[in-house]
Structure 1
Amino acid sequence: MNRKSIGIALVLSGSPIIYFFRDGLGLSPEYFFFTGTFMFLFLLFLLSKDIMLNLKIQKPNMVLFYLTCFYWLIVTNYFLLSDYPDKNKDIFYFLYLLTYFLLLLFVRDEEVKFIYISFLLSTFLSNFIFIYFFKTLFTSITFREIGSRAYIGQEKGNPNLYANIAYYGIIASLFTLKKAYKQMYKILAFINIPLSLLVILLTQNRTVLIVLLIVVICFIVKEILHILTSFKVKKIDLFKIIKIFAIFIFFFLLIFVIIPQDILSIYFSNYSIYLEGLLLNLSGKVGDQSSIQRIDAFNMIINELKTVPENYLLGMGYKYEWLDIPFLQAFRDLGFLGGFVFLIFHAIVVSYVIRYLFLKRNIDLNFISLLLLLYILIFFNCMAHGQPYDLSHWLLLITIVRFLKLPKNGKVN
């Protein structure tokens, strides 16, 4: 772990720390200048004398790099033609994204070798102060639509942000438990996993929970199949299977121990309401508002393609309408070319996910694997949350552009 790895971890997972100080402690509620100042302080960790003395740029993934440049060239052109409130805020985000990527070009691969420790510390702090806020500072949690979703910042808070960072925390903790040499880090990781699960449950982010279950189940099945299909099953392999199930059951039971029963009952009640509402929406009736919004957006695009398909040749403009489905909004806002480039970019990254995480017999627990595991959440979010320009998405995506490379022989072992 070094200063640059800490900087990357803070940029990608340190935003809850900013909002805790800004809105939780009330130092500067909803003041964007406060947020922007903190964000650039994170970037200072990436600065070093090497940048000034030795301008040696590290080569990114060139295919993804060209696609990213082409995509943001399209976005910038549409952005310049747009007119909407808070345009200056987006200018800041563009500059921040560009500055972060330029600094990444001077980060050597060996400098992020132990970055999972940096992610562990950053996410642990984010999770801890989030729960501390509700335990000691915030006595009356506001209820938001269906169920009580915990977040900082009153009605302008974003519970999805804290859930996403908690997911990062679980992935970083698993890497630490597997790779770290110092017992102190392993103990911290063991604490951070239930802490992250608690944040996900409090924020009631269904996408994060589903993605987490998919990832955990896939790797448990992959590990068991790998052991069982070996030519000879050793005692140590059988112990490994038992250990995997034991850890999984332990954390499952721990959730029910550390979370009050009234919160659990509310949580599962909300999930049953959501599932019932989703089934009603799919059958043509009115149910859950969250899912019906996305179904309506999908149906609207189908109708527009039938009636005014020419609108999708050039698109309707930057942030024309919030659909909460980035993949669809990219086509609607930026036209066929912009949407196609956005889709191809993600398709290529997904191919890396399949090759690195699912086709390889033995997964290398390196920075690339960590990034791809984090990306899985971004991919699902692009079908259910946000916009195709979101800074929280693209900070991770351009980190992937910088570090994602196939083995030199181009093959997956």
Structure 2
Amino acid sequence: MNSFIRFVQTLDYMRMVVGICILVDGYPLIFFFRETLKLAPGSTAFTAAALAGGLVLMVPFTILRRLYRPNMTMLWLGVGFLLLSIFYMFFFNGVPGFDEYGRDTIYFAYVLIFLFLLINIPNDIIRVFVPIVVLFTLVSNLGLVYSLITDPTWAIGQRATITLNNGDEGSGNPHAFSRNAFMGVIACAIGLFRPQTNILFKLVCFFAGLLNIAVLVLTQTRSAIVALILAVILFMYFNVRPPQIRMAVRGLVKPVPIIIMVLGFIGVIFFFQRYYTIYLVLYDYVSSFMERNLENVYALLGQKAQGTDYKATLDDSAANRSVSATFLQNVVIGHMHMLVFGYGYKYTYLDVPLMESFTNQGILGLLLFGGINGMASYYAVRIMRTNPNDLSVFLAYFYLLVFVQLFTNGRPNEISFWFPLALMIRFMGVEHLFPAYLSPKPIVANQDQFVVISTAEQT
């Protein structure tokens, strides 16, 4: 009977995690159903309904009866910035004729509801979080592959994305798919490195990880590639020590890891021998990606493009950020007083979210938005060093993508920032409040791990 109850509880936790995944990483699947399967091409209502469905899946049976303590400092910083954004939207709007009040209000409401539901969700989702993320990102990647195969407008050489609303090849959003792939790589790595993971799931993580890396290459998004390089460097720095190397070597000579490596190696060799064209495609993508980024390096150094007689130039994305930096410089030099309160809600799109929070919402906007990201950076590094539990480790490495995007793309008001940040508000910096059985290492559990609203029994 106890086994059956635990099984039902596990299914319930899995339901909540699927809801979280829909909010944090749902766009690839939403685009697949909306555009590829033609359920509602170009419909923002369909997107809103799908996100609302994720919120419904997150609702625990103990809602309003048991609240779990988040990181309170990050909570106040995050809620403060959201409320400041809402205030600016209605009373200090920087866009003449702004007509997106309804849409933006709905998105802000979604973020606040998401954060509230996270505070109601039990800590025990930690034990099923990584497996669900692995499977969710795998399904999303398979949907992308199917979309590319069946899309007559997509050709090899273009960035991998799903065309939106029957538009041209530039109408998709490759960043949504690169984020999905980055999350998948992190989750698969955690699944592979955890000794308690069974062999079947390790095989799933291995092949899903390869697919995630392939999608990262196909999407050609610099922010995800840079974040992955940072993740590898930081993982090596915090985890590769002589004792860890000896432990890893001892672990690798056991039968199960040897079987996994042999099967994985044979599978990869067989796959590329049978589908050699796929290898050539990935090689061409990597080569073109490196050449394009080297062109930006040459442009910054004022040198000629490689193998040519003309001076290298920045691509459109890098050029936009250069213009944004020039804009801020001009404001600081000639109109510094405007930075006290900012120019208003969404006044200008700088493509550098941290910079935009300053220019549009002034000193307070920068302090709130920069403050919550500064705290998330601090806790991410601490978690990488201590590895307290699977969910915390996943969020620490996932934050690297958010960190890179602070300087590379997006806007500070977007839900692409705030859904992940809400998840980090709930679970970062409060690892000492989690029960010891949720950690691979013994942690002294704090009795004040949640606030009980009623007389419900504490667990």
Deviation at 1:224, TM superposition (A): 2.8
- Other structure's SS at 1:315 match: coil
1:102 alignment partner in structure 2: 116
Return the match for 2:235 from 195, 219, 222: 219
Q: Kindly indicate whether the alpha-carbon contact (under 8 Å) linking 2:354 and 2:366 is maintained by their aligned counterparts in 1.
A: yes
User: Which of 167, 174, 178 matches 1:159?
Assistant: 174
Q: How far apart are 1:192 and its partner, in Å? A: 0.8
Equivalent residue number for residue 14 of structure 1: 26
- SS state at 1:50 partner: coil
Aligned-pair CA distance for 1:366: 2.4
- Taking the TM superposition and a 5 Å limit, the aligned residue runs for 1:65-104 are 65-81=75-91, 82=93, 83-104=97-118
Name which of 183, 191, 210 aligns with 2:199.
183
From the superposition, tell whether residues 265 and 65 of structure 1 become closer, same or farther in structure 2 (CA, over 3 Å): same
Q: Partners of 1:149 and 1:158 in 2: how far apart?
A: 9
Which of these residues, 257, 261, 264, is aligned with residue 280 of structure 2?
Answer: 261
Residues 4 and 112 of structure 1 are in contact (CA less than 8 Å); yes or no, is this contact kept in structure 2?
no
Change in 2 beyond 3 A, CA 1:384/1:256: farther
State which of 372, 379, 383 in structure 1 corresponds to 2:407: 383
1:286 has 2:325 as partner: no
CA RMSD for the aligned pairs?
2.8
Opposite residue 80 of structure 1, the aligned amino acid is F
Larger radius of gyration: 2
Q: Secondary structure at the match of 1:310?
A: helix
Question: How far did residue 282 of structure 1 move?
Answer: 4.9
Aligned partner of residue 113 in structure 1, secondary structure: helix
Cα distance 1:250–1:90, how it changes in 2: closer, same or farther (>3 A)? farther
Give the secondary structure class of the aligned counterpart of 2:331: helix
2:351 to 307, 324, 347: 324
Alpha carbons of 1:295 and 1:275: their partners in 2 closer, same or farther (altered >3 Å)?
Answer: same
Aligned AA (1:150)? A
What secondary structure is seen at the aligned counterpart in 2 of 1:170?
helix
What's the offset of the Cα at 1:43? 1.4
Gaps of 5+ in 1: none
User: Post-superposition shift, 1:405?
Assistant: 2.6
Q: Structure 2 matches for 1:9-408, cutoff 5 A?
A: 9-51=21-63, 55-81=65-91, 82=93, 83-135=97-149, 137-141=150-154, 148-152=158-162, 153=164, 154=167, 155-179=170-194, 181-227=197-243, 234=246, 236-239=247-250, 259-283=278-302, 286-358=313-385, 360=386, 363-408=387-432
Secondary structure, aligned partner of 2:154: coil
- Conserved? CA contact 1:5–1:112, under 8 Å: no
Q: Distance in 1 between matches of 2:289 and 2:392?
A: 36
CA drift of 1:114 comes to 1.9
Deviations 1:67-98 (A, max 9, x none): 11221221111111325233321111111111
Instruction: State the shift of 1:177 in Å.
Output: 2.0
1:166 is aligned with what amino acid? A
- Does the Cα contact within 8 Å between 2:184 and 2:209 map onto a contact in 1? yes
Greater alpha carbon shift after TM alignment, 299-308 vs 282-291? 282-291
1:19 to 1:203, Cα distance in 2 relative to 1, 3 A:
same
CA distance in 1, matches of 2:219, 2:367: 33
Deviations 1:190-244 (A, max 9, x none): 111011111111111112112112212332343332537xxxx85x554569999
211-220 or 298-307: which moved more? 211-220
Cα distance between partner residues in 1 of 2:67 and 2:294: 50
In structure 2, what residue type is equivalent to 1:57? L
Instruction: State the SS of the aligned residue for 2:49.
Output: helix
Q: How far is the alpha carbon of 1:398 from its aligned partner?
A: 0.8
- Partner Cα distance (1:335, 1:266) in 2: 41
Deviation digits for residues 110-129 of structure 1 (CA, Å, limit 9, x no counterpart) = 13322111111110110111
| Distance across 2 between alignment mates of 1:274 and 1:174 | 27
CA contact (8 A) 1:357 1:369 kept: yes
Distance, in Å, in 2 between the alignment partners of 1:306 and 1:35 is 43
Residue identity over aligned pairs, in percent, reads 24
- Does the 8 Å contact 1:278/1:291 carry over to 2? no
SS in 2 for 1:57: strand
Greater shift in the superposed pair: 307-316 or 290-299: 290-299
1:407 to 1:101, Cα distance in 2 relative to 1, 3 A: closer
Q: CA deviation at 1:156?
A: 2.5
Superposed CA offset, 1:290-312 (max 9, x none): 21211121122012100111111
CA separation of 1:62 and 1:221: change in aligned 2, threshold 3 A: closer
Query: Deviation of residue 181 (structure 1)?
Result: 3.6
Counterpart Cα distance in 2 of 1:77 and 1:310: 20
Q: Contact 2:217–2:285 at 8 Å: present in 1 too?
A: no
SS at match of 2:420: helix
Task: Give the conservation status (yes or no) of the 8 Å contact 2:178–2:216.
Answer: yes
- Report deviation, 1:401: 0.7
CA drift at 1:142: 6.2
Q: Is the 8 A contact 1:151 1:159 kept in 2?
A: yes
Q: What SS does the aligned partner of 1:49 have?
A: coil
Tell me, in whole angstroms, the C-alpha distance in 2 between the residues paired with 1:188 and 1:237.
20
Q: What stretches of structure 2 of length at least 5 have no aligned partner? A: 1-9, 304-311, 434-442, 445-459
Q: How many aligned residue pairs are there?
A: 394
TM-score relative to the length of structure 1: 0.87
Whether the aligned pair in 2 keeps the contact of 1:200 and 1:209 (CA below 8 Å) is yes
Q: Is the 8 A contact 2:354 2:406 kept in 1?
A: yes
Q: Distance in 1 between matches of 2:248 and 2:395?
A: 28
Contact 1:315 1:336 in 2 (8 A): yes
